[in-house]
Structure 1
Amino acid sequence: MSCSNYLSITDILVSHEKVPCKFFYDLPKMGFLDPSAVDDDLKAGTNTEIPLWLAESLHSRRPPLLSVDLPKIYKDAYREILNADACTVDLYKLGQHFYELGCYVAKYDIKGDVTNTLINTFKQRFRMLLTASASNDSIGSMQPLSGSERKFAAAAAVTENAISMWLQRGDCALKTANMVANHRKRKRAEMEMF
């Protein structure tokens, strides 16, 4: 996995998400991958969902053993909804790791629509993300946010509170650094020489 992070719990959870696949060849003793299979062998043409990490490793073999299809949240029906008004969609219910999984499966999208959808969705939801980060009612405002959006909003709220506390303190006025003041004096001296 090229964009994986070995030490990230989020990345581990994303790589365990199931993606739809279609097998090209008969695989002996692999029937357990398909819950509806009655044989021990997995037959060619079988459609099933397997974890992303397994799908990527089987797809990267030469020749590929399967084709990876896009999960339903990245298909045309959901794409149209997200492009129309992404702020009304509860991404947490669709998939907690909407953006992360989208980055993984974008390489299986020939048209490149997944990448455009991820970018457009984030652009539309950015204002809602800022509102959630400045809001005091964190549970109510974070309800429709995905897992990564919740992390961003929580980090932004911490930063917002730190800035507010710093501004309210008022006991330490900003001063010009000595290096900057000396630089200005030097520039003025150089200008007066000419």
Structure 2
Amino acid sequence: MDNNRYLSISDILVTNEKIPCKFLHDLPKMGFLDPSAAEDDLKAGTNVEVPLWLAESLYSRRPPLVSVELPKIYKDSYREILNADACTVDMHKLSQYFYEFGCYIAKHDIKGEVSSTLINTFRQRFRMLLAASVSTDSVGAIQPLSVTERLQAAEAANTEKAFLSWLQRGESILTTANMVANHRKRKRAEMEML
């Protein structure tokens, strides 16, 4: 885990998302992980949804204790919908942290289709993200965006406002910096000496 994301609230929320796992070994006294289990032990072959942080730690052991399966939002049926037209999908309802969660899940995807879906989805939704950043109807434009897209739209709107206020000031005329002017004079003097 990166040290810069260790205390990130959004990363904690992302890694708390549940993913389906299949246990590869019998685990004594771990039956509480499966709400439908009647025994204290967790049997091999049991399918359970666990938080991503737990699945990662169980998967990274040697030998791995679980096999991680793709969540439904990254499986073929949703992938087809996103590849067809990602702009029609309400990402806030589908998965609030779609891109971040997908980055974690992509390393468990053998075919590599999750990462291409993430890139394709963002490319398709980029125009909608730009429209949300300059929209006057902020609630309607931001509603279908994921948390990451909302943050990007807010940052773009702040940048746009700062740029427009800078343009309206008009009092600060762009001029050549003294360092650049002195550098040009020095270069010219050196060229004349040769």
TM-score scaled by length of structure 2: 0.94
| Counterpart Cα distance in 1 of 2:60 and 2:146 | 29
> Counterpart in 2 of 1:68?
68
Measured on the aligned residues, the alpha-carbon RMSD in Å equals 1.6
| Farther-moved stretch of structure 1 (19-28 vs 178-187) | 178-187
CA shift in 2, pair 1:14/1:43, >3 Å:
same
| Counterpart Cα distance in 2 of 1:4 and 1:111 | 29
Counterpart AA for 2:77: A
Q: Deviations over 1:114-142 (max 9, x none)?
A: 01111111111111111111122221111
CA shift in 2, pair 1:124/1:151, >3 Å:
same
> Counterpart in 1 of 2:26?
26
| Farther-moved stretch of structure 1 (43-52 vs 180-189) | 180-189
> Counterpart in 1 of 2:53?
53
Q: Report the number of matched residues.
A: 194
TM-score scaled by length of structure 1: 0.94
Counterpart AA for 1:47: N
After superposition, residues 22-171 of structure 1 pair within 5 angstroms as 22-171=22-171
CA shift in 2, pair 1:95/1:4, >3 Å:
farther
User: Segments of 4+ in structure 1 off by > 2 A?
Assistant: 1-4, 182-194
CA shift in 2, pair 1:30/1:23, >3 Å:
same
> Counterpart in 2 of 1:179?
179
Counterpart AA for 2:130: L
Unaligned runs of 5+ residues in structure 2 are: none
Q: Deviations over 1:60-108 (max 9, x none)?
A: 1111111000110000011111111111111111110000000101111
| Counterpart Cα distance in 2 of 1:102 and 1:148 | 12
